């Protein structure tokens, strides 16, 4: 018998919400005037990967805004219940139709002005086969000098490629106590 499907958690039905500083807090939050529910609007985590195949780097040309037509590494918002490595693997498959093997942390980039935290892995492709998904116009493998540097979608792509090229590795590991981490 298949496993039981977990119902998504349901938010309470909200009445009118207003910006208010909740008791014990130090900033305005959207708060329901009927029940007091506080809507916390927190930064989004973006998971991605710099992937390579025999020295070539995988990039995807965006088919969606923002920055449609520009090149990026496969990356996107982390889903609930997903590790960052799982999110990076999923994004590579969704955007490039590619499969990666094991990955390791490459870098963490904080972008407070847009409330995003990028967590980027480095990973090798299992094969050079690419099949871009609906968010990508195309996916391609580039030798380093061929990377379209002036057509990169976001600064985080440039930062990730720079760290990848430098060979630097973060001086820490991701601790995952619920998933058998060290």
Whether residue 4 has pLDDT greater than 70:
no
Q: What is the mean pLDDT of residues 147-159?
A: 97
Indicate the SS3 state at residue 156.
helix
Per-residue model confidence as pLDDT tens digits over 60-115: 999 999 999 999 999 999 999 999 999 999 999 999 999 999 999 999 999 999 99
Q: Which domains does the chain have, with CATH numbers?
A: 44-166 (3.90.79.10)
CA 85 to CA 100: how far, in whole Å? 10
Q: Which of 84, 90, 68 lies closest to 135, judged by CA?
A: 68
Computed over every residue of the chain, the mean pLDDT equals 91
């Amino acid at each position: 018998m298949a496993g039981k499907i977990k119902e998504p958690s349901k938010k309470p039905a909200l009445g009118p919400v207003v910006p208010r500083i909740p008791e014990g807090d130090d900033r305005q939050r959207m708060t329901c005037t009927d029940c007091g529910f506080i809507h916390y609007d927190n930064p989004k985590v973006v998971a991605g990967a710099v992937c390579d195949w025999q020295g070539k780097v995988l990039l995807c040309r965006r088919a969606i805004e923002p920055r449609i037509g520009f090149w990026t590494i496969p990356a996107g918002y982390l889903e609930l219940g997903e590790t960052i490595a799982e999110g990076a693997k999923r994004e590579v498959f969704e955007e490039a139709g590619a499969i990666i093997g094991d990955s390791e942390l490459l870098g963490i980039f904080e972008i407070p002005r847009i409330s995003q935290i990028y967590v980027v892995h480095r990973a090798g492709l299992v094969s050079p086969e690419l099949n871009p998904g609906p968010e990508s116009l195309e996916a391609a493998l580039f030798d380093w000098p061929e990377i379209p540097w002036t057509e990169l979608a976001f600064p985080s792509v440039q930062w990730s490629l720079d760290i990848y090229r430098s060979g630097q590795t973060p001086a820490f590991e991701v601790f995952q106590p619920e998933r058998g981490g060290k």
